[in-house]
Chains A and B, each alone.
Chain A
Amino acid sequence: MKISLFIPCLTEHLYPESALSMVKILNHLGHEVEYVENQTCCGQPAFNSGYRKEIIPIAERFIELFKDEEVIVAPSGSCVAMIRVFYRELAIRKELIPGLEALNQKIFEFTEFLVDVLKVTRLGGRYPHKVTYHDSCHLNRELGVREQPRELIRGIRDIDFVEMEKSDICCGFGGTFSYKQKGISIEMVKRKCKYIDESEADFCIGADSSCLMNIDGYLRKHRMKARTMHIAELLAKSLDFEC
Chain B
Amino acid sequence: MHLSPLKTKKYVKAALKDERVRKAVDKATQTVINARKHVIDQIGYWEDLRLKNHAMKRDVIENLADYLQMFESNCRKNEIQVLWAADALEARQIILDLAKKNGVKKIVKSKSLTTEEIELNPALQENGIESLETDLGEYIVQLMDQIPSHLTMPAMHLSRQDIGRLFQEKLCVEYTDDPVALMGIARKILREHFLSSDMGLSGANFGVAGSGVLCILENEANAHLTLSLPRLHVVVMGIEKLVPDLKSVPFILKALASSATGQKSTCYVNFIGGPSREKYGEGPEEVIVILLDNGRSKIVKEPLLRETLFCIRCGACLNHCPVYQQIGGHAYGSVYMGPIGICLTPQYLGESEGRHSPSLCSICGACYDVCPVKIDMPRHILMLRNRIVEKGYSMKAERIGMKGWAFLTKHPMLYRLATWFPGQFQRLLPKGMAFPAPGYTRDRVMGRFDPKGFRKRYFKLRDI
Question: Footprint of B on A, CB under 8 Å?
Answer: 5, 7, 9-16, 19-20, 23, 35, 37-41, 43, 45-55, 57-58, 61, 86, 89, 137-138, 141-142, 168-170, 172-191, 213-214, 216-218, 220-221
B65 in the interface (beta carbon within 8 A): no
**Contact (Cβ within 8 A) B440 A179:** yes
**Contact (Cβ within 8 A) A220 B362:** no
Residues of chain A within 8 A (CB-CB) of B439 are 179, 182
**Contact (Cβ within 8 A) A214 B444:** yes
Residues of chain A within 8 A (CB-CB) of B327 are 184
Closest to A192 in B: B322
Closest to A187 in B: B326
Our pick among B384, B402, B442, B461 for the contact of A51 (Cβ within 8 Å) is B402
Inter-chain CA distance A149–B461, complex, in Å, is 26
Residues of chain B within 8 A (CB-CB) of A10 are 447
Inter-chain CA distance A50–B458, complex, in Å, is 33
Inter-chain CA distance A89–B447, complex, in Å, is 31
Residues of chain A within 8 A (CB-CB) of B458 are 5, 16, 19-20, 23, 35
Inter-chain CA distance A141–B410, complex, in Å, is 29
For the complex of A and B, 7 pairs with smallest distance between CB atoms: A174-B362, A50-B385, A217-B444, A170-B364, A16-B454, A50-B389, A54-B406
Residues of chain A within 8 A (CB-CB) of B444 are 186, 189, 214, 217-218, 220-221
Q: A50-B386, A187-B16, A217-B441 are in contact. Are A14 and B450 (CB under 8 A)?
A: yes
B173 in the interface (beta carbon within 8 A): no
Interfacial residues of chain B within 405-424, with CB under 8 A of chain A in the complex: 405-406, 408-410, 412, 415, 419, 422-423
Our pick among B322, B388, B402 for the contact of A169 (Cβ within 8 Å) is B322
Q: Can you name 14 A-B residue pairings with CB atoms under 8 Å?
A: A5-B458, A45-B402, A46-B402, A50-B388, A169-B364, A174-B364, A176-B398, A181-B323, A181-B362, A186-B444, A187-B16, A191-B326, A213-B446, A218-B444
Interface string of B22-64 (1 = CB under 8 A from A): 0000000000000000000000000000000000000000000
**Contact (Cβ within 8 A) B365 A51:** no
Question: Footprint of A on B, CB under 8 Å?
Answer: 12-13, 16, 322-323, 326-327, 358-366, 368-369, 379, 382, 384-390, 394, 398-399, 402-403, 405-406, 408-410, 412, 415, 419, 422-423, 434, 439-450, 452-455, 457-459, 461
Closest to B451 in A: A13
Residues of chain B within 8 A (CB-CB) of A9 are 419
**Contact (Cβ within 8 A) A43 B457:** no
**Contact (Cβ within 8 A) A61 B454:** no
Closest to A37 in B: B412
**Contact (Cβ within 8 A) A188 B326:** yes
Q: A39-B412, A49-B402, A141-B364 are in contact. List 5 more A-B contacts (CB 8 A).
A: A46-B402, A49-B398, A50-B384, A50-B389, A182-B442
Task: Give the distance to chain B from A63, nearest Cβ to Cβ, in Å.
Answer: 13
Residues of chain B within 8 A (CB-CB) of A184 are 12, 16, 323, 326-327, 360
Q: A52-B386, A217-B444 are in contact. Are A40 and B365 (CB under 8 A)?
A: no
Q: A13-B423, A50-B382, A141-B365 are in contact. Are A40 and B447 (CB under 8 A)?
A: no
Residues of chain B within 8 A (CB-CB) of A89 are 379
Task: Give the distance to chain B from A57, nearest Cβ to Cβ, in Å.
Answer: 6
Residues of chain B within 8 A (CB-CB) of A174 are 361-364
**Contact (Cβ within 8 A) A221 B361:** no
**Contact (Cβ within 8 A) B326 A141:** no
Inter-chain CA distance A182–B440, complex, in Å, is 6
Inter-chain CA distance A14–B358, complex, in Å, is 29
**Contact (Cβ within 8 A) B408 A40:** yes
Residues of chain A within 8 A (CB-CB) of B446 are 213, 217
Task: Give the distance to chain B from A212, nearest Cβ to Cβ, in Å.
Answer: 8
**Contact (Cβ within 8 A) B359 A170:** no
**Contact (Cβ within 8 A) B386 A170:** no
Inter-chain CA distance A30–B446, complex, in Å, is 36
Instruction: Tell me the dominant secondary structure on chain A's binding face.
Output: helix
Inter-chain CA distance A43–B409, complex, in Å, is 8
Residues of chain B within 8 A (CB-CB) of A188 are 322-323, 326, 362
Q: A49-B402, A137-B364 are in contact. Are A181 and B359 (CB under 8 A)?
A: yes
Task: Give the distance to chain A from B429, nearest Cβ to Cβ, in Å.
Answer: 14
Our pick among A55, A173, A217 for the contact of B362 (Cβ within 8 Å) is A173
**Contact (Cβ within 8 A) B457 A217:** no
Our pick among A15, A23, A183 for the contact of B13 (Cβ within 8 Å) is A183
**Contact (Cβ within 8 A) A13 B453:** yes
Inter-chain CA distance A82–B169, complex, in Å, is 54
Our pick among B410, B440, B454 for the contact of A11 (Cβ within 8 Å) is B454
Inter-chain CA distance A45–B458, complex, in Å, is 25
Inter-chain CA distance A45–B409, complex, in Å, is 12
**Contact (Cβ within 8 A) B454 A12:** yes
Inter-chain CA distance A57–B399, complex, in Å, is 17
In this complex, which of B402, B408, B415 has the most chain A Cβ atoms within 10 angstroms of its Cβ? B402
Task: Give the distance to chain A from B170, nearest Cβ to Cβ, in Å.
Answer: 32
Our pick among B359, B368, B386, B422 for the contact of A141 (Cβ within 8 Å) is B368
**Contact (Cβ within 8 A) B447 A217:** yes
Residues of chain B within 8 A (CB-CB) of A182 are 439-440, 442
**Contact (Cβ within 8 A) A181 B360:** yes
Inter-chain CA distance A48–B366, complex, in Å, is 16
Inter-chain CA distance A141–B364, complex, in Å, is 8
**Contact (Cβ within 8 A) A186 B362:** no
**Contact (Cβ within 8 A) B16 A183:** yes
**Contact (Cβ within 8 A) A172 B322:** yes
Residues of chain A within 8 A (CB-CB) of B443 are 186, 190, 218, 221
**Contact (Cβ within 8 A) A13 B409:** no
Residues of chain B within 8 A (CB-CB) of A52 are 386, 389
**Contact (Cβ within 8 A) B359 A180:** yes
**Contact (Cβ within 8 A) B457 A20:** yes
In this complex, which of B388, B442, B454 has the most chain A Cβ atoms within 10 angstroms of its Cβ? B454
**Contact (Cβ within 8 A) A137 B440:** no
Closest to B304 in A: A89
Closest to B382 in A: A48
Closest to A39 in B: B412
Residues of chain B within 8 A (CB-CB) of A213 are 446-447
Our pick among A15, A23, A138, A214 for the contact of B461 (Cβ within 8 Å) is A23
